[in-house]
Every structure is written in structure tokens, then in C-alpha cells.
Amino acid sequence: MAATASPAPGSAVISLLTDYGLADGFVGALHSVLRRAAPSVPIVDLTHDVARQDVRAGSLALLRAAPYLAPGVVVAVVDPGVGTSRRGVAVKTAGGNGMVFIGPDNGLLLPAVDALGGAEGCTQLEDRGYFLPAPGPTFAGRDIFAPAAALVAMGAALAELGSPAGPETLVRLQAPACSRLEDGSLEAEVTWVDRFGNVQLAAEAPEVSANPAGAGGDGAFKAGDRVLVHAHRAKRHGRGTAVSRDARVATAFADLAAGELGLLVDSYGHFALVQNGASAAEFLDVAEGDLLTLRTGLAGA
């Protein structure tokens, strides 16, 4: 770890992702601490509106941000286990210009780290004089993660933040469900419902997947195809009734008539169910975490 070079001073950006919301001043406190220690380092707020304490949603938001991250340090905090024995960690990626991800070891960081080449090194954060003195145990972002991030952005090596930890010991969340069923249907979890009501699925489109034999990799979905969408298990919401809808494979929102449900590859390379100017999530009555099946080759569809 000690040999791991950090971003060159002056070239780093600090990116932030939390579930703090913008109302309470938590994010302002993070910025204040960062500005005291690293006044001229640019800060990017990826989002602070991850659903409260939803580590999974945070990890997926961070994964979506990963390919576009400015080089430097990422602080991510969705941390229901704050104050327990869960570790704080700094993880350096093998690819992506050696980004450093800092946050709780609860699965939040790993999907993005994996997308940037995996963990090349990992440090368990320990107080080597850089923690801020804190009256209570509840604000690790301000008192531990932000000071650590400022140090790294200013050129500190990971080894200065604590003791080496094996990347293989990091907590890993179960990946979103995505599989091909026996009847040829694609079953995939809803990974994201955005502001516009677009429903992103765990299935990556083959064009952008490194694994063309994976979900959708058989080229089953062609523009113009009809697809039967079945929302058969509403995990989070306990709804008893399933919904079945007909969708059409499209390449752009503009291909869709008003009220028509479309299946397209979204701007993150995932399959998504969308409507043109309306909310597909409302139309399908689905939420993040729900499972959908997509079936093609419909007779008479």
C-alpha cells in the first residue's frame, strides 16, 4: 500500500455522494471541512439525495457515475451502521487513473471500484491525527472521511490514513438480479427510477457489455420488436397484483407515440422502459428493487 502513488497534488478533484439531503447542513459541513484543508481542490457533488440509508441505491448511483468521474478522490456516505464496528476504508482502483474511494465498508463503494478495474489497494481508516475531534459518534463524513479525502487530494499516500486491509475482505452487496429464464424471457431487477419516470433495468445492452453472451447478448431485442413486460414481484411494496404491458423496442424517445411504452438502451448502457413525455414507472407501477420479465416473440403482438 505504501508504494501506491496517489493522484498528483493539484490534479485531484473530490467527488461526493451521500444520503444527507441538502436541507440539514450536513453537505455544507463536508464542504467546509474540505475547504479548510484543501481550499483550491474542485469539488463535484454527484448527488446527496440517495434514499436515506439505502446502501444499495447509493452503490448503484455511484456505479452509474463511475465512468465519468473526474480523477481524484470520491467520498461516498450512506451509512446506517455508523457508530458500529463497521470499518471506514480508502480503496484505490487499479484502473480509472487510480481513483481513491473513501467511505464505510458496507458494500457502497465496491460496484464503482469494480467498474474502474477493481481494488488495487485498501486501507482501513485509523486516527493518525487527522480525524476531527467529535463530541458524538454520528458524523463520520465530516469527522473522518472528509479529512481523509482532503489529505489524499493534497498528495498523501493511502498508507498515511491507516493500516493495510485486504481488498478481498471488503463487504460486497449482492448484485442486482438479471438472468435468462428457461422460456427465453429476460428477468431483471429495476435498478433505478429517475425523475422522468424512466425505469432502468439491471440488464446491460450487448452493445456496451463486455460480455456479449450475457443478458440480452443474444440480440433478442431488435428495434420494432414487441415485448411483453410483466412486473411479477413487487418486492418492496407488497402489491398483490402483477401488471403486464406491451412495449416496443425503440432507439429513441422520439420513436414512441404518446402513451406508448418503449424498451430502449439508456444513456448508461442499460435496458430501460420509458414513455415519451410520461412516467413509465407510474404506468407500470414499479419501483426500484422490483423484478420484471421481458418476453419477445409474442404471437400476434
Q: How far is the CB of 96 from its own copies (least distance, A)?
A: 11
Quick check: 24 binds its own copies (CB under 8 A)?
Answer: yes
CA dist 177 and 46 (Å) reads 25
CA dist 147 and 142 (Å) reads 7
CA dist 220 and 205 (Å) reads 10
Binding residues for its own copies restricted to 115-134, rule: CB under 8 A? 134
Q: How far is the CB of 214 from its own copies (least distance, A)?
A: 15
Task: Classify residue 239 as exposed, middle or buried by CB count within 10 Å of its CB (0-12, 13-18, 19+).
Answer: middle
Quick check: 240 binds its own copies (CB under 8 A)?
Answer: no
Binding residues for its own copies restricted to 145-184, rule: CB under 8 A? none
Q: What are phi and psi of 14, to 5 degrees?
A: -105, 120
Please answer whether residues 75 and 142 qualify as being in contact, where contact means their C-beta atoms are separated by less than 8 angstroms.
Answer: no
CA dist 273 and 230 (Å) reads 12
Please answer whether residues 96 and 210 qualify as being in contact, where contact means their C-beta atoms are separated by less than 8 angstroms.
Answer: no
Binding piece for its own copies, criterion CB under 8 A, among 1-9, 153-161, 251-259, 289-297: 251-259
Query: For residue 240, how far is the Cα from the chain centroid?
Result: 29
Quick check: 22 binds its own copies (CB under 8 A)?
Answer: yes
What is the number of other CB atoms lying within 10 angstroms of the CB of residue 123?
A: 27
Q: How far is the CB of 159 from its own copies (least distance, A)?
A: 26
Quick check: 95 binds its own copies (CB under 8 A)?
Answer: no
Please answer whether residues 93 and 118 qualify as being in contact, where contact means their C-beta atoms are separated by less than 8 angstroms.
Answer: yes
Query: For residue 25, how far is the Cα from the chain centroid?
Result: 23
Between 32 and 163, whose beta carbon lies closer to its own copies?
A: 32
Q: How far is the CB of 11 from its own copies (least distance, A)?
A: 7
Quick check: 247 binds its own copies (CB under 8 A)?
Answer: no
Q: How far is the CB of 183 from its own copies (least distance, A)?
A: 27
Quick check: 23 binds its own copies (CB under 8 A)?
Answer: yes
CA dist 48 and 218 (Å) reads 37
Between 144 and 220, whose beta carbon lies closer to its own copies?
A: 144
Site string for its own copies, 254-273 (x = CB under 8 A): x---------xxxxxx--x-
Contacting residues toward its own copies, per CB under 8 A: 11, 13, 15, 17, 20-29, 31-33, 35-36, 39-40, 42, 44-49, 52-53, 61, 64-65, 68-71, 80-84, 134-139, 142-143, 192, 194-196, 205, 207-208, 251-254, 264-269, 272, 277
